[in-house]
Chain A
Amino acid sequence: MSPPRVIIRNHSAEANLFARRTFIAFVGVLLLLLILFSNLYSLQVDSFEKYQTRSNSNRIKLLPVAPNRGLIYDRNGIILADNKPVYSLAVIPEEVENLEANIKAISKLLDISADRQEMFFKAAKGKRRFKQIELQPRLSEQQVALFSVNQQKFPGVFVDARLKRHYPFGKLTTHNLGYVARINQKDANKLKQQGKFENYAATHGIGKLGIEKYYEELLHGTIGHQEVEINNQGRIIRTLNYTSPVQGQDLTLTLDIELQMIAKRALSGKRGAVVAMNPRTGGILAMYSNPSYDGNLFVHGISSKEYKKLLSSKGLPLINRSVQGYPPASTVKPFLALTGLEEQVITANTKIWDPGWYQLEGLPNKYRDWKKWGHGWVNLTKAIEQSCNIYFFDLAFKLGITKISTMMERFGFGDYTGIDIHEESRAIMPSVAWKRDRYNKPWYTGETLSVGIGQSYWTVTPLQLTQAVTTLVNHGERKVPHFLKATKNIAINKRDASQSTLEEVIYEEQAPLVLKQAKHWDIVLEAMHNTVQKFGATAYAPFKGSKYDAAGKTGSAQVARIKQNEEYDAKSTQENQRDNAMFIAFAPFKNPEVVVAVAIENVAKGGGATNAGPVARQIMDQYFGNRVITSSMDNSSNQLNAKTQQHMHQSHFQESD
């Protein structure tokens, strides 16, 4: 595509050529216009009578009928998202004599505000007169009753019932379920692009967040049509044919609403999140982020005042903290220890001396342990039990950032877990390349040390932690976290018996994380077991006296930067600069059934063990109840299934999203 070497142009020849071509194009335009015109001529003149007749007899109209949205249940069949009838007062102006006087009268009867009336009259001006217009949305029960008694006085005015989404548990489930709200222009454009717009012709709401959004396609269903005959005013005379809509599929989640309640109670008054998951399936048992907000607000259209209040609320309730990044702090030490074993920079018996600080050769910075006077001689197990920073500074230094980040990425840090909601963050697994991309700066060894105790740029979401612990307890078998347990199709037979089939969702198996030596798993898991079970270990207190055999790890993340030789004191530090408390746990130690991750922001005093540990304890206490824990497989999940399996058969399900 090099430019021409010599520019000698014959301008008049070019102009002639161009004029010739333009003329040909113009003739083409004329010809095509002629074709258009003659076609229109044949429609409007030759076939005029045919089409006029068809137009006059055009009395059959297709009205779209919206399908009912699928319901959402928790794992025990408790309803989490319901469709509730909402009544509104509607008017067909054409059928009302003396519109203004009648509207005034009924407004007085039902106490309808002047604003509403004004809005109605404005709308009535625009629309065709035979179309119904809403006068008052969301009638109270008294209003409905009052109107029913007086209905005969107001021809053309009627109560219109419509199903709207309702979340009986409000705040408790919003971050998981998301919510349904009005289809806006952006949604409409997207639907058009996907060729689904016609299926939404009668639908008012669409999933905007969470599960409602992720499984929109399953939940929505298929539109139906009502074929009606209308008169020349457009009024419906009779229904000729009715194709009923196919309602959306009901979803059964892995979520246990009672466990979710405990999670909420455990987090009350705190900012943070908790995730509990079944490590055998990846099914989420509870996932709660506090503070939360009520999704029902959005279903009816949130006022801008209420929305601003949510936006500016100090606790940032709109954020789903379960899938937002936090510095993981010491909770990642088991994973780092595993990396050390795998890369053979340490063995289970490697010991180092901890004087209370760590210093890189030739550098003035001193990296401090949380215990001022140090832990003395420390091996891997003790390092995890006591959460010894010095051991992990040394380990991180020996490993270097690249080996650390490579292994951590294999555990899923820094990437989407693949959970079935769209809101999750990848958080950050720092690496040399990442820092170059992000800050255009080289990686410093000092930063590697910070990474060794889960600080520096490293952030993980509570969900990622849950997933990583699951991989750990499964000895490398990876699970994708998910909410969806089963879907229910309702097929209506000709013989009116509606048959429902519950289809258990089968999730694809993940490629396992294979270690060079399988015994490394157990070394680390044992250490986590000790951390909880051994008197004097960092996580001993929260699980003291539990009936089940738990294992875990604490973490306290610095949020404020602490200067050389300065000491952290929660009282003198601003609230939003205080430490975050983290905790990961699983139980029973043999054949775990539940994995929990907790993150709590800016705690007043103490760290992971005192603030986040008790949250994990409450979740597990609820989960295990008074159950005697044996090590047999699958006793809990089969119990639940047995209840509902009478009417269902299991079959395979390919995820469509």
Chain B
Amino acid sequence: MRSSGKDQQKTYNIWKKLHIDLPLLLGILSLMVLGLFIVFSAGGQNMDIVYRQAIRLGVAIVVMLAIAQIPPLSYRKWAVPVFVIGLLMLVAVLLFGHVGKGAQRWLDLGFMKFQPSEIMKLIVPIMIASFISQYNLPVKISTIMWAVILVLIPTLLIANQPDLGTSILIASSGIFVLFLAGASWRLIGVFVGLGTAFAPLLWMFLMKDYQRQRVMTFLNPEQDPLGSGYHIIQSKIAIGSGGIDGKGWLQGTQSQLEFLPEPHTDFIFAVFSEEFGLIGVGFLLAVYLFIIMRGLWIAVNAQHAFTKLLAGSITLTFFVYVFVNIGMVSGLLPVVGVPLPLVSYGGTSMVTLLAGFGMLMAISTHRRFHT
């Protein structure tokens, strides 16, 4: 008995030395494997797509494990310069991106295409957490004001691209840091009030026609059932007709007969719900909840304000992915292009997502050696 206990201690230490958080890894892997099966079904039962996705997942996991090796407190050194570079790249996209005269190559690094907005998904929470953790908690109003400006600049630049999905994710990652850092409830109330007041302005001046169209469609999909409301209606039919136990893997008529839009990317949840029913949905949500709980546990147990805030923000932003995607596919939210994390096919966002998990693992495993 004693020796086996020691062995357990030993294996635990090996994971620790490799900077791998085992519960988190298991949660992530199970979603990925599940994802491969659904991608196969949704992508026209094409093995090529599955291979490509598997390779992409492999790369993303390597990135995650590599990032997990870096002591998390050292991020702070790089926060400001990388944030500034990221902003400059966003401005470059704004200025030259759609002029199109040779300038787009600027962001094409040859071996990979480079989306500055993806990097910002990681840099914004690091920057805000690093900025706020210089001061005592709870955060003061003046600090919050600066932080809000720091979040707003990249958010507006990206919303202008226009990429509503990513800008929502970036804004929330910053807001979560402020919330976790103890922003006063009164202030939160004021911001919510301002946001509500701002919404009509957003509608009138900032949103593009097609974005307004999406919101209209969301509010009343049956109004134009063969036009723009078509997607959301088909998606709801897919989910609803799945019932409690689903139609079975590869048996979903909505997806197999191609009634669903983008079945293997943004609408993959509809395919899953149709084929695996409410039982499958319950299981999927449980795995997501497990990952989120583990992330929050890492945050609470982190030993420095910076790492706490960062871990909390990464975890909650991950939840926003889940909520926005499932919400939009099931008709609770308007359609914004956010994939179902770890399950949807492709996307540059997969690497960013796993890089975030790499940071969580670093925060969880570097605790004893903090600098």
Contact = CB atoms under 8 A, between A and B. Distances in A.
Contacts of B293: 26
Interface string A405-449: 000000000001000001000000000000000000000000000
Contacts of A52: 240-241, 243
13 contacts: A10-B136, A14-B136, A18-B299, A18-B300, A25-B176, A37-B285, A40-B239, A44-B239, A44-B243, A51-B237, A51-B240, A52-B243, A61-B259
Given A55-B238, A234-B257, 8 more contacts: A15-B308, A19-B300, A21-B179, A32-B323, A44-B278, A44-B281, A45-B278, A62-B226
A10 B323 CA distance: 35
A43 B330 contact: yes
Given A4-B136, A26-B293, A55-B238, A39 B210 contact: no
B323 A4 contact: no
B260 to A, nearest CB: 11
A85 to B, nearest CB: 27
A125 B100 CA distance: 40
B213 to A, nearest CB: 9
A23 to B, nearest CB: 9
A55 B241 contact: yes
A29 B326 contact: no
B226 A227 contact: yes
B196 interface: no
Contacts of A227: 226
A119 interface: no
Contact of A62 (B230, B278, B308, B316): B230
Interface in A104-159: 125-128, 131
Nearest to B131: A1
Interface residues of B, number: 69
A36 B296 contact: no
Main secondary structure of the interface of B (DSSP, over half): helix
B46 A193 contact: no
A43 B300 CA distance: 36
A234 to B, nearest CB: 5
B352 interface: no
B141 interface: no
A1 B236 CA distance: 49
- For the complex of A and B, the 4 pairs showing the least CB-CB separation, nearest first, are A51-B240, A55-B241, A126-B46, A195-B210
B248 interface: no
Interface of A: 1, 3-4, 8-10, 13-15, 17-19, 21-22, 25-26, 29-30, 32-33, 35-37, 39-41, 43-45, 47-48, 50-52, 54-56, 58, 61-62, 125-128, 131, 186, 193, 195, 225, 227, 230, 232, 234, 416, 422
Contacts of A33: 285, 288-289, 323
A29 B292 contact: yes
Given A37-B285, A44-B240, A234-B257, A25 B312 contact: yes
A348 B257 CA distance: 82
Given A36-B326, A41-B278, A43-B239, A29 B161 contact: no
Interface of B: 44-48, 100-101, 113, 131, 134-138, 146, 161-163, 176, 179-182, 208-210, 226, 230, 234, 236-244, 253-254, 256-259, 273, 277-278, 281-282, 285, 288-289, 292-293, 296, 299-300, 305, 308-309, 312, 316, 319, 323, 326-327, 330-332
B93 to A, nearest CB: 11
Contacts of B236: 43, 51
B332 A36 contact: yes
Contacts of B258: 61, 128, 234
B277 A44 contact: yes
Contacts of B316: 25, 29
A36 B240 contact: no
Nearest to A131: B44
B179 A25 contact: yes
Contact of A55 (B146, B182, B208, B253): B253
Contacts of A58: 234, 237, 253-254, 257, 259
B250 to A, nearest CB: 11
Contacts of B48: 126
B327 A36 contact: yes
A232 B253 contact: yes
Which among B230, B259, B312 has the greatest number of chain A C-beta atoms within 10 A?
B259
B208 A195 contact: yes
Contacts of A43: 236, 239-240, 330
Nearest to B311: A22
Nearest to B213: A195
Contacts of B234: 58
A22 B300 contact: yes
B326 A55 contact: no
A55 B332 contact: no
A128 B45 contact: yes
Contacts of B136: 4, 8-10, 14
A172 B293 CA distance: 66
